[in-house]
Amino acid sequence: MARASVSTQDVLRAGLAPVHTSPTADGDIADVGSGVFLSVINGGSGPVTVTVQTPGVVDGDLPVADRAVTVPVGTTPKLIPLNSTAYRQPVGDPNAGRALVDYSAITSVTRAVVHIP
């Protein structure tokens, strides 16, 4: 199974009830930009770590650490900002300009990508 490309849902003036769907075991591909968030709900039995890959380096050879966020069990979505250019895959990559997101577990986990203008 390959990574899933997640469609970004725009929040309109009338509001938005984001549609959350299950991630794949191989992870997600998501848009990056101002006002873009990954919304994760963990209905499982224990915390889940969501990791946003950072493919860049500093000073030519120092890797930038990936962003790891713990999502506790519950029905309240955890919002993870996807506004950093550090998350963008490099030019030449098939997913250039987008973020790669991994999950430590996917059972009972749902996610949505939302854009708040």
pLDDT digits (tens, 9 = 90+) for 56-115: 999 999 999 999 999 999 999 999 999 999 999 999 999 999 999 999 999 999 999 999
The residue range of the domain holding 21 is 4-115
Dist CA 60 CA 5 (whole Å) = 30
Q: Which residues of 55-86 are buried (b: 16+ CB within 10 A; e: fewer)?
A: beeeeeeeeeeebebebeeeeebbebebeeeb
pLDDT digits (tens, 9 = 90+) for 13-32: 999 999 999 999 999 999 99
Helices (H), 1-117: none
Q: How many domains does the chain have?
A: 1
